[in-house]
């Protein structure tokens, strides 16, 4: 009997062993190694510079660095603030409009906001929010401004522009996550039951629906928080510059000409990781409090109808953010094509392709690098994800919880926490500074998203379809290539498009592992954003925003064309 099962699943075992090996050595080991290296340096051990004694000095130096306290405060305010506000707005918006919006329409509306990289969105927002931006231009006739008003609306010392920028990207992501969670809950029936018992719509939402939604969105909210606490590219473009947020400050210290700065920088990177842990702990504590208070409130049976205005305020907030985001995206293209555009004019007085032609050599090189990186990382990630899922199928078993947690690990750790250490390790291995090192570092973040995007559609495929193929004599490889992959073409391409968006958006891995020598659209856009020529910045940011968008378009158009005569595969299985 045992022999029988061995025969059936031996193939699956080999595949699973290979996948486990690749994930373990390729993803988990480097992250662990990077954390270890950074952690050692944070406690004074950096043999390359002759530091070999365990000491707390790096932490003291870190605390004494100019602006440290302000940086820490800025990080907490923008990171925690944007996450909690986004969660509040997204929840309120879903409560107000869920019944009126189909998930398909919602997903389509959100796609551009999800696809655009953080850096491109930040550049566009800077164009819109700046004293000489679209908003000021629109207000100019009323305010009587002849020239840009003297207000620091971008890079403000409060970090408000950064807060808004983060929310413009986070709210659509949370909306998508909440909408997909809602599709697993019988919302309409619970709403009807609650209202029949005399509860208002908003109250039913808070008391009945949200408690069911939260467990489904908890992990994505953690990912958002971890990201917001440690974002670098968007914080460079929109955030205060002196002192900047902690993640930006740590990045600067790591790249400081004085190598001794690596020690306090490492302590800062570790602190960044601690902040994420504390942030998640705070969310867990909040959850516990809300649960206690909530159950007391629930048992009291209040029917209050007063939540309604709050929901509409949240919806208005979401609409305002979406409009701001749309304006920002449009402004990228407009600026890249503008020639003469003096202050109070809403549209440029003259247009030109000169910014594109002038910077051609630069952007073609960056575009190629970006395309190569995206192609390689997405190809690798997709192959690994398919191998993983197929391994689960062949063993005829689901995923262990520890494996699920493993996938989220790179998304929950701040990049700055282990990228420096990873770079040191790869320097020692002699692979730093090249394309391969960057591909590897980017894939650490592309793979989890591809895996998450592909898992649900893969598992929701009717297993009897595959059994039918086996009964017709098709072996495991023919079942995979001739049945599963074609049927799952749409979700596979959607996962690939998400992977492209993630790869194109990567800033820190490219910077650190490429040793600053590999220019991508993102690194160039971030560098240029501090300069004065908005036109050239617009060119790079437009291209950066366009790439993921083209990928999403392809993910939609290719299956639509190939399956145009296959009704069962049209309009279903959107990932």
Partner 1 sequence: MSLDLDALCIQSATGSALFVPLTLHVPAGGVVTVMGPSGVGKSTLLDGIGGQLAHGFRLSGRVVLNGRDVTHLPAEARRIGLMFQDALLFPHLSLGDNLAFGLPLALRGRAARRTAVEAALDQSGLAELHDRDPATLSGGQRARAALMRSLLAAPEALLLDEPFSKLDARLRDEMRRFAFAHVKSRAIPTLMVTHDPEDAAAAGGEVVELRGGSLNET
Contact footprint for partner 1 (CB under 8 A)? 1, 3-5, 7-8, 395-397, 462, 464-465, 467-476, 479, 482-483, 486-487, 489, 563, 565-569
Please state the three-class secondary structure of 268-316 as a single string.
Answer: HHHHHHHHHHHHHHHHHHHHHHHHHHHHHHHHHCCCCCCHHHHHHHHHH
Q: Which CB, 429 or 568, lies closer to partner 1?
A: 568
Q: Which CB, 7 or 100, lies closer to partner 1?
A: 7
Q: Which CB, 356 or 556, lies closer to partner 1?
A: 556
Smallest distance from partner 1 to CB 22, Å: 22
Q: Which CB, 379 or 486, lies closer to partner 1?
A: 486
Smallest distance from partner 1 to CB 461, Å: 10
Name which of 236, 250, 273 is nearest 65 in CA terms: 250
Q: How far is Cα 563 from Cα 379, in angstroms, rounded to an integer?
A: 23
Q: Which CB, 1 or 64, lies closer to partner 1?
A: 1
Smallest distance from partner 1 to CB 405, Å: 21
Q: Which CB, 300 or 464, lies closer to partner 1?
A: 464
Q: Which CB, 4 or 429, lies closer to partner 1?
A: 4
Residue 11 CA, distance from chain mean position: 35
For residue 396, what are its two tokens? 């005829």
Q: Which CB, 226 or 487, lies closer to partner 1?
A: 487
CA dihedral over 432, 437, 442, 445, signed as positive or negative: negative
Smallest distance from partner 1 to CB 574, Å: 15
Q: How far is Cα 77 from Cα 369, in angstroms, rounded to an integer?
A: 35
Smallest distance from partner 1 to CB 563, Å: 7
Burial of 347 by CB count in 10 Å (0-12 exposed, 13-18 middle, 19+ buried)? exposed
Smallest distance from partner 1 to CB 557, Å: 17
Residue 476: CB atoms within 10 Å: 17
Residue 220: CB atoms within 10 Å: 19
**DSSP state, residue 154:** S
Tell me if 533 sits within 8 A of 145, measured CB to CB: no
Contacts of 310 (CB under 8 A, 6+ apart): 92, 202
Smallest distance from partner 1 to CB 453, Å: 20
Smallest distance from partner 1 to CB 573, Å: 10
For residue 562, what are its two tokens? 């190939």
Q: How far is Cα 335 from Cα 329, in angstroms, rounded to an integer?
A: 10
């Amino acid at each position: 009997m045992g022999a029988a099962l061995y025969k059936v699943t031996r193939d699956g075992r080999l595949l699973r062993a290979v996948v486990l090996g690749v994930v373990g050595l390729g993803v988990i080991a480097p992250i662990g190694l990077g954390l270890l290296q950074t952690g050692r340096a944070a406690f004074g051990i950096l043999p390359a510079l002759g530091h070999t004694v365990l000491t707390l000095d790096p932490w003291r130096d870190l605390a004494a660095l100019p602006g440290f306290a302000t940086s820490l405060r800025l990080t907490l305010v923008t990171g925690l603030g944007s996450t909690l506000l986004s969660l509040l707005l997204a929840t309120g918006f879903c409560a107000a409009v869920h019944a009126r919006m189909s998930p398909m329409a919602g997903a389509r509306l959100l796609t551009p906001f999800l696809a655009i990289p953080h850096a491109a969105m930040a550049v566009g927002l800077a164009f819109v929010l700046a004293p000489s931006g679209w908003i000021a231009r629109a207000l100019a006739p009323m305010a009587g401004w002849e020239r840009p008003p003297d207000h620091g609306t971008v890079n403000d010392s409060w970090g408000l522009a950064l807060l808004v920028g983060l929310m413009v990207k986070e709210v659509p992501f949370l909306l998508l996550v909440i909408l997909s969670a809602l599709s697993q809950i019988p919302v309409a029936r619970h709403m009807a039951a609650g209202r029949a018992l005399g509860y208002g719509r908003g109250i039913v939402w808070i008391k009945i629906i949200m408690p069911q939604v939260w467990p489904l969105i908890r992990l994505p909210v953690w990912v958002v928080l971890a990201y917001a606490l440690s974002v670098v590219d968007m914080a460079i473009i929109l955030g205060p510059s002196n002192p900047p947020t902690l993640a930006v400050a740590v990045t600067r210290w790591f790249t400081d000409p004085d190598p001794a700065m690596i020690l306090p920088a490492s302590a800062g990177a570790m602190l960044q990781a601690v902040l994420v842990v504390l942030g998640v702990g705070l969310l867990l504590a909040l959850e516990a409090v809300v649960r206690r208070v909530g159950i007391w409130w629930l048992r009291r049976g209040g029917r209050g109808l007063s939540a309604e205005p709050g929901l509409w305020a949240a919806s208005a907030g979401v609409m305002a953010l979406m409009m701001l985001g749309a304006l920002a995206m449009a402004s990228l293209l407009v600026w890249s094509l503008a020639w003469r555009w003096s202050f109070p004019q809403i549209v440029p007085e003259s247009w030109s392709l000169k910014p594109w032609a002038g910077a051609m050599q630069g952007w073609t090189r960056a575009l190629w690098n970006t395309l190569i990186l995206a192609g390689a990382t997405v190809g690798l990630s997709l192959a690994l994800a398919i191998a993983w899922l197929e391994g689960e199928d062949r063993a005829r078993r689901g995923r262990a919880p520890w494996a699920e947690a493993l996938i989220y690990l790179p998304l929950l750790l701040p990049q700055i926490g282990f990228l420096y250490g990873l770079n040191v390790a790869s320097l020692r291995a002699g692979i730093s500074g090249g394309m391969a090192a960057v591909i590897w570092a980017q894939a650490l973040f592309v793979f989890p998203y591809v895996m998450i995007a592909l898992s649900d559609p893969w598992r929701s495929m009717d297993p009897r379809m595959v059994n039918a193929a086996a009964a017709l004599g098709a072996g495991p490889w023919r079942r995979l290539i001739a049945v599963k992959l074609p049927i799952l073409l749409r979700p596979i391409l959607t996962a690939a498009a998400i992977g492209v968006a993630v790869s194109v958006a990567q800033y820190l891995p490219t910077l650190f592992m490429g040793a600053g020598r590999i220019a991508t659209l993102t690194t160039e856009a971030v560098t240029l954003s501090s300069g004065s020529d908005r036109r050239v910045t617009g060119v790079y940011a437009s291209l950066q925003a366009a790439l993921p968008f083209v990928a999403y378009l392809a993910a939609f158009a290719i299956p639509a064309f190939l399956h145009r005569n296959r009704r069962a595969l049209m309009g279903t299985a959107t990932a």
